[in-house]
Amino acid sequence: MQNGASLVHSDVNQKNILVHKYGWKWQVSGILDWEYAFSGSPLVDFGNFFRFEDEMPAYQKHLVAAYLEQGGVLESNWQYKARVLYLLSMTEFLHGKATIRRHLQLLKKLLKEHYSLFIIKLISQ
């Protein structure tokens, strides 16, 4: 992952993004709900935002393009790393009473899809 840390929102989703239409273009005008923010990898926010990628496939190319235009750097395997970081953050839901069915279902799906690949990569390093 990239060296250095960034301000990570840690709960980026459509409910927390304000947009405004300027002429024919929509632009982000604000980000809400910062109580989970910390200093870390921006891949955490990518993993969080694209956690339900099957519901919003059109967003990825625009968000990635804007991030790169603003000087962000993404390695070739950034999507895998973002998924792993999101998967790790999801484990917090396993400890509390506030387990949300949708999140738990996604966690199970991600574990099935990525767990063996993640372990193999860790062992081979």
The amino acid that residue 46 corresponds to is F
Report percent pLDDT > 90 for the chain.
28
Q: What local confidence, expressed as pLDDT, does residue 9 receive?
A: 93
Contact indicator for 81, 42 with CB cutoff of 8 Å: no
Domain boundaries, the chain: 6-124
Q: What local confidence, expressed as pLDDT, does residue 28 receive?
A: 86
Q: Is 19 helix (H, G, I), strand (E, B) or coil?
A: strand
Comparing 95 with 25, the larger pLDDT belongs to: 25
Please tell me the number of Cα atoms within 13 Å of 15 on its side-chain side: 4
- Condensed to tens digits (0 to 9), the pLDDT of residues 97-122 reads 555 666 667 767 777 776 666 555 55
What backbone phi and psi angles, to 5 degrees, belong to 17? -115, 120
Contact indicator for 9, 47 with CB cutoff of 8 Å: no
Tokens of 93: 């839901």
Rounded Cα gap, residues 108 and 41, in angstroms: 24
Contact indicator for 114, 87 with CB cutoff of 8 Å: yes
Mean pLDDT of 73-78: 90
Q: What local confidence, expressed as pLDDT, does residue 32 receive?
A: 95
pTM passes above 0.75 = no
